[in-house]
Amino acid sequence: MRAHLLMAGVIAVAIGVACGAGVVEVEPNEAPSAAVSIGAFGAVHDTIHVNGEIDYPGDIDWYGLAVQTDSIGLVMAASASEVEVRLVVYDAELGYLHAAENRATLEVGSGDYFLRVDAKGLATGAYELMVTNAVEREPNDGVGMANDLGIPGEEPSTIHGAIDPVADNDYYRFEVPDTPAGGSSAEYVLLETSGPGGDTIIVLYAFDDTCGRFVPAFRDDDGGTDAWSAIFAPLTPGEYIVRVEEYAENGTIDAYEFSVSRFSIQQCEPNNSLEEACDLGVVSIGQTVEYDDLLDAGDVDHFAFTLEQEADVTAETSGRPSADSILVLYDSSGTILAEDDDGGDDLWSRIGRVLEAGTYTLRVSGYQDEEPFRYTLIVRAAEAPESFQEAEPNDSFSAAMDLTPHALPLQLEGGIDGPEDVDFYRFRLEGEGMIPVSIETSGVWDEDTFLCLYDEAGNELVCDDDGGEGFWSLLEYELEAGTYFVAVEAYYSDDAFLYTLTLSVE
């Protein structure tokens, strides 16, 4: 990295990142003499977060910090939603060193320093300031010049770098130690790049005894968030090298973060069939059960849980944005009750169903079985809403089925009877201010509905096609107190199927 004011130097330092260190601004700190102390930075990498606020137009916040080693790189970055933050760095005698908007990177020696924070345009608002000496050191342009990241743990070891000039490659080294007695036979690492903007490729090298050198073992382009990269891989004890480069090597990246985390996962294996399902136990009303696991390439995981009474159950998977899961729900006889691909966040899965007391099984698999990924399975149970049946005819606004006598949340079992059938429902909201409302269709089979919300005069407010699980619909909207209509229809007019309509308020 050859970022502004960061001088090249050959140095490799083991990282011991203090991710939890934090400071809160204390007013008044409008002058260097009243500066809030951030702390001291030495040879071991450290990261400190500061929560501050520009309280009034023209407010200036001063912070002090100490450097206790001959030469380190510092990154100072501020993030805020309401203000554009400016950073100015001074030495102990208030000699000007550097100024930047939102992010400053510089090389400093032993001594005391001041950091001034203000906002452009006399704006006010809160900000978060990060100061770290976990900074890439150039030259690190080859396997033998890699910056040493030491032995990573479950908390990410993060280093700040840049791809500059064009065709710059950055290399980092880390170590996977021997597995402790009784632990997993293999370690897993998660390698990720991230930042304000950029497109990276990362390559993981392992030592090959036959070749007598490090050779590429894994490569990723866009496995992380946006165009950033991520590799989740099983590793045996030993040394590893990572190369970070700009995609196509024809541009620069002003700033990026590279992190490495190491996991030992005790899997509930074998659970590759309904009969071998891992038992999550009883899930009671108001309870949430979480289970962290790893899905190997081509693997399928099964988990069983028990309800002692009827409940509104939500099951979902979560994890890094690039992973893609499929979730299937079975009853005790092995009959599929529901299936979902991308109903959760990003490409993760989510199933919501009202279930009777009994034992059920969830099946987790990957959409594509090419790479392993880590995931969290979450199962939660809530009180089941009131349930009843649709009453025909309800094919128009004037004939809409009145839901007002029923308390929210409610769940209605309805059906699309055939060509051009549309089911209308009328409900009333009571309360003050804007009321968040959720209206959703679901069912046993993956049918395709179209859902619309109307005001009392019949004016369309919002519609949805596939916002729910699979091709089902979901409307989340804020409404004032009043009377409203909901219309449910099939996306294809000649379809006939059963559906569940769920209406709830927060």
In a domain, 462, yes or no: yes
CB 206 within 8 A of CB 243: no
CB 490 within 8 A of CB 421: yes
- The residue among 366, 382, 398 that closes a domain is 382
> Are 302 and 217 in the same domain?
no
As given in the structure block, the two tokens for residue 303 are 């988990």
In a domain, 7, yes or no: no
- For residues 302 and 268, give the distance between their C-alpha atoms in angstroms, rounded to a whole number: 9
CATH number of the domain residue 152 falls in: 2.60.120.380
Q: Is the pLDDT of residue 3 over 50?
A: no
What Å distances lie between residue 67 and 43, 59, 94, 110, 112, CA to CA? 9, 27, 16, 5, 6
> Are 394 and 374 in the same domain?
no
In a domain, 4, yes or no: no
In a domain, 163, yes or no: yes
The pLDDT value given to residue 369: 63
Give the amino acid at 439.
I
> Are 395 and 497 in the same domain?
yes
Tell me the pLDDT tens digit for each residue of 70-123: 888 898 888 888 889 999 999 999 999 999 998 888 999 999 999 999 998 889
The pLDDT value given to residue 12: 25
Minimum mean pLDDT range among 6-15, 106-115, 272-281: 6-15
In a domain, 17, yes or no: no
> Are 360 and 436 in the same domain?
no
Query: Can you give the residue range of the structural domain that contains 475?
Result: 386-505
> Are 199 and 298 in the same domain?
no
pTM of the model: 0.61
In a domain, 345, yes or no: yes
In a domain, 138, yes or no: no
The pLDDT value given to residue 32: 96
> Are 375 and 420 in the same domain?
no
Which one, of 287, 329, 318, lies nearest residue 443 by Cα?
A: 329
State how many domains the chain has. Answer: 4
3-state secondary structure at position 60: coil
- The residue among 336, 365, 382 that closes a domain is 382
> Are 356 and 391 in the same domain?
no
Q: Is the pLDDT of residue 184 over 50?
A: no
The pLDDT value given to residue 319: 87
Tell me the pLDDT tens digit for each residue of 144-170: 999 999 888 877 889 999 999 999 999
- For residues 78 and 85, give the distance between their C-alpha atoms in angstroms, rounded to a whole number: 7
Average pLDDT over all residues of the chain: 88
